[in-house]
Structure 1
Amino acid sequence: MRDQELFQPQDYLTPKWYLFKNSTLRKVYNTIPWSQLSECLPKENRGPGAPRWFSAQGMFGLMFLKSYLNLSDEKLIERFNTDWSLQLFCNKLLDDNQRIKDKAILSRIRTYMADNTDWQQLQEVLIHHWKRDMNNTHVLLMDATCYESYIRFPTDVKLLWESCQWVFEKQLYRWSKILGVKRPRSKYIDQKRKQMSYDRSRKKTYKAGRKRKKALIYLLSKGLGQLQYLLNENPQIQLHFQERAYLKTIQKVLGQQQFLQHHPAKELKNRIVSLPRPYVRPIVRGKETKRVEFGMKAHMLQVDDICFIDAMEFRAFNESTRLKISSLKHRSIFGSLHQLGADRIYATNANRKYLTVRKVFTCFPKKGPKINKPEESKLRSLISNQRATVMEGSFGTHKTAYGLNKIKVKGEKREMIHVFFAVMMANAVKMSKKKSENIPLLQAA
């Protein structure tokens, strides 16, 4: 999009525009197709909580800046009010006496975009805009990673005690005080003392943990029954939709913990590990430093150092089954696929046969006593090193520099949209560097 379509003519007469024009943020700005992205949102901001301050471009700009600056929502709004370069990036230049006081506006924008956009559609727009500046598009690298959610390490005792606290303190005791009725009898105070003693113990034995779980399951079951009786006897009590969802999650937790009392853990499916994030599942990665991770598993593709998201799910899945789909996506966008790099989990017989028929060279080790040619061995080693260094290094960059180390955003769709904008912002920074490197060559030519 041309500059005349983005800013008003009087903006060019200010020193702010000339300083922004030569900044690094402006180079990143030029790599993003704002008009095509804006068409993916509804023309009017409708519905409850729809943001009114920003246009479609402004909302996309804030989401990109959230990952670029790696700031919290509140600090980003404070920075936006005092930094005119961020305002120009979002095409929303505030007046000297104007500031945004709504600190929750970024959260509402994230929710609005998660409900009204599809991250796959947005990614297609960005890919088609960037592919004309990409080289070596015949080489595809793929791997899977996990973007963890910001939750403490879950245990059954912690989960049950959090459920008991919510049922008794935030519901039963609160509504009893509001209605002016006597609290229902329970052993909650005694169990609270025992829980504090258990938390202070340095060595938590298996026997003590099992005893605590049995007591908390009984207490939670009794508390849920008392809460349901209170709700039935007092129709004027209206729980918020978030409280109803929380109550439903706690009922599922109780059922799962009762199941685990008599069955092994491997027989339980869709195990809940967090009350605020019931969609998160434990993902066993088998790493030396971190055997289990809790968050989103993403299957990533990389072409010319630019990463794209193939799939995001809050459950464990075998990434080797995504090879055929990923290769078809690559062919439909970039046209040809001659070389593919992936780790050994992808080297199944079905994948080998699929790639051999289509004459795709891979870094998979050959099967059988076949003699490797020196050229093939060198190319295979080069592709493998590229995947192990550049691609896995980009995962570390996403987590350390773009706010994906521990995701604090809550909500399944909102977490996905947050990860999407972080990955795409990292790509935009790389594309800006590629363009700046090519400019002197074009001028010399």
Structure 2
Amino acid sequence: MLVVKIGGSIQKDERDFELIANRISQYSSRDRTIVVTSALKGVTNSLIEATENRDKAVEIVSEIYDRHVKLLSKIVDGPEFDNAFKSISKLADELFRIAWSIKVLDEISARVRDYILSFGERMASVTLGAMLRSRKMDAQSYPEPLLVTDDSFGEANVIEDLSAMEARKVLDIPSKIVVVPGFIGKTPTERYTTVGRGGSDYTATLLGKLLGFPEVRLVTEVPGIMTADPRKFPGAKTISRLSLEEAMELAQMGAKRLHPRTFEPMFDRDIRVYIEGLYDEGYTLVQGTCDSSDKLKGIAVLDDLKLISVESTNIVGKIGSAARVMEKAREAGVNIISLSQPASETTIHIVVDSKNAERLSSRLQELRDVDSINVQDASAVSVVGCGLRNKELFREVLREASSFEVASISRGLRNVSATFVVKKDEGFNLAKDLHEVVVKWIN
């Protein structure tokens, strides 16, 4: 039995759907298949725009509806088109009503926002299921979420025991292929929620765990996870295998825009996850833990960051100085990406997302005994690989970074990553040099 996730980036036109049908047919010929679908390419962004630009909400919803109907007319025919058209129209009517409401009220809550975003995946599951049936495949759509969550709208937490009971409902469906929505959930009181961008990957691996399926395939536009972004690093290669620790580090750093919790369900489970391309051959297998033969696997770069330096000779030797900085971050509602302090204790370096820097900086001004607070653009460059546990290999990485002005160095989960914070104008050059080390040692 198998879970296959179909990404939104590969659901653009009839050519994509022809390739998707072939891929699903290939897998379902040997296995019972649960297909987790994202919304069509760009639809989630359009729905977000409708929630933010409420004067145009109805117009945007109309465009989304027209796009689904136009696509249906190209990839589905006969009775399957009629049935899918009715289902899409029913969902669209529901969406039109809420769009009118937010336009008139000119306000929106987090709960209503999640409700609006849920329509992308629900419409996609109807569309994909109809396309498969029109090709005489034994498929059925199940457009309601299988995940039961709490009510933390926007970043809901999955309640696994209730989700397992809900997910098992699809096993009672006699069809060999069942198409379900990713990204969305429902509270026990039937309120729609979302689990965060990239949440369809997380949905797929979680369903693999909850249903006891041994294999999950995440199908996207690129053939696996690469050593670096190939648009910026021409020498980037597909990584053939990642340990669970390495995959989690890369997901946390935003590699391939994976949901940061994508690989959590694999802990204590014998699950194989393949990340594969629809257009090109190649894949990355995520399975098992670090192996003694593992070396380096890839780099990740976070660019849109700010380095805030809190400087004072008055904080030297004072217990709780860093704690007071973190308390100010908590009060400001700002997530700290990295925090470090040299042995001299005269400076505390904090790395945050650029959009949060001004808010945090203002809060830090309230601290006593601070001489100055400096803010500058920064990049965080991370090297990932179990081989970093090897002292010689780690020293080679450090030597490559030593020619740059590094503000802080940190180690990641189980010492399988090393992150260097530098000035933004040095970020790309550091990443390029470190990527050359990775490509040299990749296995």
Which range, TM-score by smaller chain? under 0.3
Q: Looking at CA atoms only, which structure, 1 or 2, has the larger radius of gyration?
A: 1
- Name whichever structure is richer in helix by fraction: 1
* Higher relative contact order structure (alpha carbons within 8 Å, sequence separation ≥ 6): 1
